[in-house]
A and B are shown apart, each in its own frame.
Chain A
């Protein structure tokens, strides 16, 4: 299946732990994103990478560190997890360029910090 996939789907962990979420897309897109969706369902952009280069870095604590080993993968590592990090994290991908920016989303990772 052509898609954006994320692992894990659910992640429950203790405060202070370090965790990673992985994202892969096989759509041949050159740009990938991480979004955070809070309890009110608001989608907030966190990071964007184009061809492995960071191009969007919103005001996100530096405990969050994205890594893009190649343009098909964008992982998110979170250090010293806090209660407020609990949310659903979505990965997305698109092709940058003239004509629009149709972003395709993964299924999400629900992170619960206890």
Chain B
């Protein structure tokens, strides 16, 4: 199936730093979603984006739906230890189409 290119695959950051990650595709998507997975748990939805150019925040998280509809980024500001986890991007190509394409994930490690 359709794959999303997610980068970087892992990152080590100091507590308090901001972190940015992005997701790209060769195809246009109508929805972008960002999930976080804690160890031993299922992915949890962080932010959903539905319109090109849309910028949405959820606490210290900010995500944007790229103007070309082929990319999205997620920023975490002032990282804290509990930000540790795997962050997945996911995209949906068609309205009513319930298939999501997932990126391979970005492992974030926060160093106290």
Q: Which residues of A contact B (CB under 8 A)?
A: 4, 31, 40-43, 45, 48, 50, 55-56, 58, 90, 92, 94, 96-108
Q: How many residues of B contact A (CB 8 A)?
A: 28
Other than the known A40-B104, A45-B100, what 11 A-B pairs have Cβ atoms closer than 8 Å?
A42-B105, A43-B102, A45-B1, A96-B98, A98-B96, A100-B31, A100-B50, A102-B48, A103-B100, A108-B41, A108-B42
Given A41-B86, A42-B104, A45-B1: A56 and B99 interface contact (C-beta under 8 Å): yes
Closest-CB distance, A111 to chain B (whole angstroms): 14
The docked-state distance in angstroms from the alpha carbon of A6 to that of B57 is: 30
Is B92 interfacial (CB 8 A cutoff)?
Answer: yes
The docked-state distance in angstroms from the alpha carbon of A50 to that of B107 is: 32
Closest-CB distance, B55 to chain A (whole angstroms): 17
Closest-CB distance, A69 to chain B (whole angstroms): 20
